[in-house]
Chains A and B, each alone.
Chain A
């Protein structure tokens, strides 16, 4: 179970050291390295989703699909929100929130809310990554590198929330 946390720790070390090594590299190399780091981080995040998702919902076999972790995460968010918004859940007091989540077959209130936030952060990385790719296609490496960097920031935030969610569902 601690494997994922360790993987995160390794990835953070790798990411930070990679960043330091890339200091004098060209923008193109920086961009390509960051793409690699981000791809690997996404693989790790997918692992966390596959680990946490079945512990958060009652109908895990229907909702959590190991072959499609991002789809699982989005499906989890839909189940959490029902027909409402996250603000609707935020407006509930604690007892009502517990009742609502129980009705929606959510198993772990705190873990679920952290996981929701992790997924929100993850979703934010798509836009800068898309822009980074577009700049890369035009060989605008500095802009591509900056946007890929921004995507990485969101992945880091996703990772930190994902670790919280995992700790909570595991009762660590």
Chain B
């Protein structure tokens, strides 16, 4: 479903964000991407929805090489991919319902179908009763649930979440993660970047650990805590570069 082949990315300011990353996430997988701030988690996710392009290597989504995708085809890639952000990124001038409807308008979904899909998505995250609220009237957890519902409303085969619980308290975070596992149980491939160790340890799913732009650990049923060696490795690399 998601495949990165020997991907490297150097930012224009010379910072090497990713170096020679190889990664495969299969259909229906649920994987955590863990690592400290600056380890390259967000950069890796941004490659998936073509916010960034790698300086080297190839990125495949559902078998399609997206590194060669022309700019005007990018919107169509993003419609096949649900993305959830740490800061929710809801349209502030639109209600929860309108935020979800916008995604469907973009793809010209008929009105009746639209109503059905929005209701389903809001039911799944338990936010039907707040559908007429504006984002500013919601709590952080509710906003994130609305954002997840928006990411789902197109029925994308892949859901990518960048620190979805970064701004939330532990209880709310756990609620969000349960929603994500429920979505995964329906067959959606999920990749979550996080440094929420409690959630990762409790769920015991696949864990991919990034450190200084390299994959240092990939366990099928892993925990958050990294081995001492990988930590020291990062420090030595920073001094080298």
- To the question of whether A and B form a pair in one complex, the answer is no
Please give the residue numbers on chain A whose beta carbons come within 8 Å of chain B beta carbons, in ascending order. Answer: none
Please give the residue numbers on chain B whose beta carbons come within 8 Å of chain A beta carbons, in ascending order. Answer: none
